[in-house]
Structure 1
Amino acid sequence: MATSSRPYKLTTLVRRRSDITEQEFHKYWSEKHPIVVNDWLARHGVVKYVQYHTPLELREQCKFGQGSSQIAEFDGYVELTVPNIEVLKRAFDDPFYKLHVAPDEAVFIDAQGTRRTFGYEEVYIKDGEVKK
């Protein structure tokens, strides 16, 4: 059972719009999107916002080990670390989301191809050390 001391993560698996290139997607996501979302997320209590860029070239390099033939075909994913789900609910209920964030996401993200997960984090190795 999750305790209040564990960080919670909203992970959003992202696909780019089919009418833009990988390069355009990653450039926009890195350079333009944070300008829109950073203050909004921080204002609502998001502890950490991380983008993971997974271009096809890197996904192709990951074909080894268990699940090697099942590499997820997403262009990237986002992790939002929060103390509780209420932080996320407040952020997405904020009119700023509908007026600014959602339209910006529509510039580069395929909303129908997006998937989410939500859960808590358990750390077993940190900074190269096994945690007990």
Structure 2
Amino acid sequence: MAKHRQYKLTTLLKRRSDITEHEFHRYWSEKHPLVVNQWLVKHGVVKYVQYHTPSQFREECEFGQGSSHIAEFDGYVELTVPNIDALKDAFKDPFYKSHVAPDEAAFIDAQETRRTFGYEELYIEGSKIEQN
């Protein structure tokens, strides 16, 4: 039996150089969701998660494989969608250009932002190993 796949857009974020880390994280947590939540739901996003990675946390992560190559991003966001068309439709929506993009510009350095898109494979959930 084929597994139902969850697709994820992951966007790695750098804050604008003229705002502090604290300002970035506060804005992203408190203001940005007020702009994007309804827009994301309207376009079929089933999960929106912010991962905040302050420099202090990145410094504490210098252990194990890859420890000398800690990604220098201030955070990343994951959008879980049923398919890529949901994302394409969302970014074509005039609301993106009129509301979301200007809000992102208030705290994100767009030139330093990076994206990945792929699918999720779940192996452990709730401390239990998933059976294939």
Distance, in Å, in 1 between the alignment partners of 2:11 and 2:118 is 12
The structural deviation recorded for 1:63 is 0.4
Q: 1:32 and 2:31 equivalent?
A: yes
1:5-84 alignment to 2 at 5 Å? 5-84=4-83
1:97 maps to amino acid: Y
Which runs of 5 or more residues in structure 1 are unaligned? none
How many pairs does the alignment contain? 130
Whether contact under 8 Å (1:51, 1:78) holds in the other structure is: yes
Which runs of 5 or more residues in structure 2 are unaligned? none
CA deviation digits over 1:1-39, x for unaligned, max 9? xx6720000000000000000000000000000000000
Distance, in Å, in 1 between the alignment partners of 2:8 and 2:61 is 24
CA deviation digits over 1:43-73, x for unaligned, max 9? 1100000000000000111000000000000
State percent identity of aligned pairs. 75
Q: TM-score, structure 2 length as denominator? A: 0.97
Distance, in Å, in 2 between the alignment partners of 1:121 and 1:103 is 30
3-state SS of the aligned residue for 2:9?
Answer: strand
Match of 1:115?
114
Whether contact under 8 Å (1:123, 1:131) holds in the other structure is: yes
Runs of 4+ more than 4 Å apart:
none
1:38 maps to amino acid: N
